[in-house]
């Protein structure tokens, strides 16, 4: 009987690929708690939370064939949740600000916002190297310390700090470029 079998992650994702409702439900239940915890970092509104989770799982089921078993299934699902969060906040224009300060970084140019909308950061993170973006996400968005990041990723604390500093520099440049584009568009439309 199907309900007595314990499925591996690979079997569950293969079942989802074949649109097997039981495998979809089992996968949903298995990772629901970690997805809720992950998404609660971005919104505490229960309705938004469930909408984001459900949109994320819909993507997981639709893209099940893209899972390559090169990393953990949970990590792959969280990456999809990350993109669902970004898309949700873009669509809903529900902004949550993320502020950062570090003594070793120069402050943002006063003409540029010191607080960024989280959905903008999520979009900009796609434009910087993955390892640098990952450290930024772990430190700024998930609140891990450099010590925790170094243990989790198997890198030194100094490397973690370097990636964070690089992410901030690259994001600062991307933000300033976006500000300049917006100024040009505004000047063009008001002229």
Please report, for the domain that includes residue 79, its CATH number: 1.10.1740.10
Residue 164, domain extent: 97-190
Number of structural domains, the chain?
2
Q: Is the pLDDT of residue 38 over 90?
A: no
Are both 30 and 61 inside the same structural domain?
A: yes
Are both 81 and 112 inside the same structural domain?
A: no
Are both 183 and 126 inside the same structural domain?
A: yes
Are both 76 and 110 inside the same structural domain?
A: no
Are both 8 and 81 inside the same structural domain?
A: yes
CA dist 113 and 119 (Å) reads 14
Are both 86 and 150 inside the same structural domain?
A: no
Q: What is the pTM of this model?
A: 0.49
81-134: per-residue pLDDT in tens?
988 888 887 776 544 455 555 544 444 443 344 345 555 677 788 889 888 988
> What pLDDT is attached to residue 118?
58
Are both 103 and 180 inside the same structural domain?
A: yes
Final residue of a structural domain among 92, 115, 134:
92
* C-alpha count within 13 angstroms, C-beta hemisphere, residue 8: 5
The CATH number covering residue 167 comes to 1.10.10.10
> What pLDDT is attached to residue 134?
87
3-state DSSP helix/strand/coil % of the chain, to nearest 5: 70, 5, 25
Are both 50 and 129 inside the same structural domain?
A: no
Count of CB atoms within 10 A of residue 181's CB? 10
Are both 110 and 177 inside the same structural domain?
A: yes
Enter the DSSP assignment of 11.
Answer: H
Angle of CA points 69, 78, 34, to nearest 5°: 110
- Write out the two tokens for 15: 């079942």
> What pLDDT is attached to residue 117?
54
Are both 178 and 108 inside the same structural domain?
A: yes
CA dist 108 and 115 (Å) reads 10
Query: How long is the chain?
Result: 191
Final residue of a structural domain among 41, 65, 92:
92
């Amino acid at each position: 009987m199907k309900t007595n079998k314990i499925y591996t992650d690979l079997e569950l994702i293969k079942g989802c690929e074949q649109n097997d409702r039981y495998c979809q439900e089992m996968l949903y239940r298995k990772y629901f708690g970690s997805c809720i915890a992950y998404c609660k970092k971005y919104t505490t509104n229960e309705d938004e939370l469930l909408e984001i989770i459900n949109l994320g799982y819909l993507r997981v089921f639709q893209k099940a064939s893209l899972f390559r078993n090169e990393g953990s299934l949970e990590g792959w699902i969280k990456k999809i949740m990350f993109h669902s969060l970004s898309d949700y906040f873009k669509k809903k224009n529900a902004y949550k600000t993320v502020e950062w300060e570090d003594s070793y970084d120069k402050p943002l140019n006063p003409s540029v916002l010191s607080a960024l909308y989280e959905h903008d950061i999520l979009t900009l993170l796609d434009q910087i190297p993955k390892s640098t973006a990952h450290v930024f996400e772990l430190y700024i968005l998930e609140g891990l310390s450099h010590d925790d990041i170094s243990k989790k990723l198997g890198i030194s604390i100094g490397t973690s700090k370097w990636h964070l500093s690089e992410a901030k520099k690259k994001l600062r440049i991307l933000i300033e470029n976006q500000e300049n584009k917006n100024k040009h568009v505004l000047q063009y439309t008001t002229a």
